[in-house]
Amino acid sequence: MSERISRDGAQERKPRTLQTREREARTEYVPASTLPTPEPRDGLRFRWVATSLLGQPLSTNVSKRMREHWEPIKAEDFPELMLEGDKNGNVEVQGLLLCAQAEELAMARNAHFANHAQAQAESVDNAFLRQSDPRMPLFSDKRSTSTRGNGFGSGSK
């Protein structure tokens, strides 16, 4: 620190604007995930599928996911995930089985459910608007608009 003492004995300090201090690089803490994350692979989507809950097997859940073309990942294909292996050599952690699906199938599934959700929303809108009375419509159309005020309080008459 470069402080000087003046003639009357008081300390003279440099203004803060003249002092430079290197900022330390801040590192942000990110808590570790409970489940290991597989390295991304082209053409595959990953998902953890529940095989048991509170010690009870969930065979219907596993069966449904297999019919949706989710396939268990072999531990030998992902050595970085070799924490536990089930009896079939799959990657399983605390009742969750790591599965993969082809990217095309995952995208088709997402599109199917997006279309399904849109159809449901349209159905709800149609049922709601069906109750509309022409004398007092609920909504004339589904578009919303916003306008600015006409200057109330600005002193103009």
Render pLDDT for 51-98 as a digit per residue (tens, 0 to 9).
988 888 888 999 999 999 999 988 888 777 766 555 678 888 888 899
Tokens of 85: 């292996």
Which among 46, 53, 56 is positioned nearest to 96, based on CA atoms? 53
Domain presence at residue 150: no
- For 27-54, what is each residue's pLDDT tens digit? 888 888 788 888 888 899 999 999 988 8
pTM check: above 0.85: no
In a domain, 71, yes or no: yes
Q: So what's the pLDDT on residue 101?
A: 93
Residue 70: count of CB within 10 angstroms of its CB: 21
Residue 124 lies in a domain: yes
37 forms beta bridges with none
Q: Is residue 12 part of a domain?
A: no
Residue of 94 and 113 predicted with greater confidence: 113
Phi, psi of 74, rounded to the nearest 5 degrees: -80, 135
Number of structural domains (the chain) is: 1
CA dist 99 and 48 (Å) reads 6
Please give the mean pLDDT across all residues of the chain.
78
φ, ψ of residue 147 to 5 degrees: the values are -130, 160
The domain in which residue 119 lies consists of 44-130
Question: How far apart are alpha carbons 36 and 56 in whole angstroms?
Answer: 23
pLDDT at 93: 83
Higher pLDDT pick, 132 / 120: 120
- pLDDT above 90: percentage of residues in the chain: 27
Q: Residue 39 and residue 30: Cα distance in Å, rounded?
A: 18
Helix%, strand%, coil% for the chain, nearest 5: 30, 20, 50
**Integer Cα distance of 116 and 60 in angstroms:** 23
Please state the φ and ψ torsions of residue 120, each to the nearest 5 degrees. -65, -45
Does residue 147 sit within a domain?
no
Q: Is residue 49 situated within a structural domain?
A: yes
pLDDT score recorded for residue 146: 72
Domain contains 32? no
Q: Which candidate, 36, 34, 35, 39, places its Cα nearest to that of 77? A: 39
More confident residue, 22 or 123: 123
In a domain, 28, yes or no: no
Check residue 20 and give its pLDDT: 58
